[in-house]
Structure 1
Amino acid sequence: MVKNKIPGKHQPLKQQRHIDQLFAEYTAYHQHPTNKLLQVIFIPLFILGLFGLVWAIPFPHLKFLGERNDMFNWASVLIGVSIYFYYRLSPVISYFILFTLFILSYIITLIQQFQPNGSALWQVSLLILIIGVTGIWLGYAAEKKNPGFGVRLKHIFIAPAYLWHIVLNKFSVKY
C-alpha cells in the first residue's frame, strides 16, 4: 500500500549510509587543492608499499595446498579481509577495490621478477611505502588540519574507496 503525500507535511529524511558518512568525514579533512592532488598520487603508492610488505612476509607451507602453496601468501589473506570490509560498505566499490588489488598484485610480481638478484621485495615496498606516507603527510600539512591518529588510521582504510568514489561519481555510477 502506497501512502499519499500530504501537501505541507515534511517527509522523513533518508538516513545517510555509513559509507557516505565516512566519505563526508574524509572530505572534511581534504579540502585544499594541493592535499587533494597529493592524495590521488600518494594513496595508491602507500597501498602498493603496504601490500608489497605484506606480500613479502614468509607464508608457511601448508601441505593441503600441494603445488599451489606458492600461490598463497599473507597478501591473499589481506585481499580477502579487505574485500569483505569494502563489500560491507558498498558492493560496487568492493569490486573496483578487488580490481585495484589485482593490478597491484601484478605490479608486485613484476617487481619480484625484475629484482631477483637486487633489492628484496620488502626493501622496494618499504621505500614505496615511505614515499606514500611522506606524500600523505605533506597533504595534511597543506591542509593545516591535524587529525588524531585514530582519524588518520580510519582515513587510510577509507582512502582507496574514496578515490574510486570520485571516479564513479564522474561517470554517474551509483555505488
Structure 2
Amino acid sequence: MRTLEQWFEEYAVSHQNPKNKSIHYICVPAIYFSIVGLLMSIPNKSISNTLSLNMPIIENWAVVVLIFVLIFYTRLSIAMAFKIAVFSAICLTANYYISKILPLWMFSVGVFIIAWIGQFYGHNIEGKKPSFLKDVQFLMIGPAWVLENLFSKK
C-alpha cells in the first residue's frame, strides 16, 4: 500500500503549472462540497431501516458515505483524516443551510459541473491528463493534496 506522501508525489506530477494548481485549490474542494450536497439530497427516510441502525446521528447518506471516506484517509494518515473530517463537517453544515434556501440537489449539480469544467480547463493548461484517469483512487487523493498544500507549513 502506498503512503500518503507517495500518493502526493505521484499526484503532483500532473499538477505543476501554477494556474492549474490554483484552479485545483478552488475546484477540488467545490467538487467534494457538491458531492456532499448531492448525497444529502438523496431521500433519507429509510436509512436507519436500510442499515438496521437506530442512531439519530445518521440523518442522511452523506454521513454514511463520509464514514467510509474517513476510513480511507485514516488508513493513510490520522492527521489527514482529521483535516478531512473537519472539512467534511464544514461541507455538511454549509450544505444544510443552503438546503434551507435553495433546492440543494440543483445547486450541487451546478457546482459539480462548473468545478469539473474548471478541472479539465486546468489540465488543458497543464498539458497533462487528470491523475484519476490512471487510478480512480486519485479522486480521493485530490482533496487531501489540496488541504496539504493550502495548510501545510512549507
Shorter-chain-normalised TM-score: which range?
0.7 to 0.9
Aligned partners of 2:28, 2:44: CA distance in 1, in Å?
26
Describe the SS at the equivalent of 1:138.
helix
Return 140-149 or 123-132, whichever deviates more: 140-149
Aligned partners of 2:20, 2:135: CA distance in 1, in Å?
14
Q: Deviations over 1:108-166 (max 9, x none)?
A: 01111112xxxx21111000101111111111111111247533633321011112222
Query: Which of residues 120, 127, 144 in structure 2 aligns to 1:144?
Result: 127
**Given the superposition, is the C-alpha separation of residues 21 and 29 from structure 1 closer, same or farther in structure 2, using an over 3 Å criterion?**
same
Quote the sequence identity (%): 29
Q: What is the Cα-based RMSD across aligned positions, in Å?
A: 2.2
Q: Deviations over 1:6-47 (max 9, x none)?
A: xxxxxxxxxxx6111100011000001110100001111111
1:102 paired with 2:59, answer no
Q: Which residue of 2 aligns with 1:159?
A: 142
Q: Which residue of 2 aligns with 1:53?
A: 38
Cα deviation, residue 59, structure 1: 2.1
Cα deviation, residue 168, structure 1: 4.5
Runs of 4+, deviation exceeding 4 Å: none
Work out whether residues 52 and 125 of structure 1, in 8 Å CA contact, stay in contact via their aligned partners in 2: yes
Work out whether residues 123 and 129 of structure 2, in 8 Å CA contact, stay in contact via their aligned partners in 1: yes
**Structure 1 spans left out of the alignment, 5+ residues:** 1-16
Aligned partners of 2:124, 2:105: CA distance in 1, in Å?
28
When normalised by structure 1's length, the TM-score is 0.77
**Given the superposition, is the C-alpha separation of residues 165 and 38 from structure 1 closer, same or farther in structure 2, using an over 3 Å criterion?**
same
Work out whether residues 132 and 139 of structure 2, in 8 Å CA contact, stay in contact via their aligned partners in 1: no
Work out whether residues 45 and 131 of structure 1, in 8 Å CA contact, stay in contact via their aligned partners in 2: no
**Structure 2 spans left out of the alignment, 5+ residues:** none
For 1:158, give the aligned amino acid.
I
Work out whether residues 30 and 143 of structure 1, in 8 Å CA contact, stay in contact via their aligned partners in 2: yes
Mapping for residues 1-175 of structure 1, pairs under 5 Å: 18-61=3-46, 62=48, 65=54, 68=56, 71-115=58-102, 120-147=103-130, 150-151=133-134, 153-170=136-153
- How many residues align structurally? 150
- Structure showing greater Rg: 1
